[in-house]
Structure 1
């Protein structure tokens, strides 16, 4: 952030976190990391996401350039999703965030417990 800017101005951190920081986007990106998958495969691997929410999440990730959608002219149509180069470039920072969360979840839960009893 530049001197004199506030976080409510055009902030790349806020912009990106608003889009990928929802409940499902990181899970979808992690699911697509190994390669191309169909909608039903993504849904099955994530488990507890509704079809409607998965569809919305995939559309947003596609709009932002993280995911590419390919429709094959078959009957019925076969639709596949894959990470774009931008999506692949996000995997390492995402893995770092996941490692940090795993390493610090206990401390965060303990702090929440202390705050709840205060």
Structure 2
């Protein structure tokens, strides 16, 4: 098994793959020929990698924090880990009322709205 990880494929107009961009554990990137990628058994499988345009579109999307995603689950009544509840309180997204019931703060609601999650 290789220490490289595949990022995306580079294709000709015909759709034929002529290069595969990979990255090593230290963040160094290089392009390999498809045959070498397959021979070295680099993951993920070559046929599951996005093309360069789809890859660039995906990395340009803003990433949503796992805590904000846990907040969405909590707001929707799903169970979330205690650690996530603790973090949500630290960030000021939720607070316990006088009876100890957790409530969404205005800041938590604003954060959900700004991320298009509410």
TM-score interval for Structure 1 and Structure 2 normalised by the shorter chain: 0.3 to 0.5
Q: Which has the higher contact order (CA 8 A, sep 6+)?
A: 1
More strand by share: 2
Instruction: Please report the TM-score for the alignment, with normalisation by the length of structure 2.
Output: 0.37
Greater Rg by CA: 2
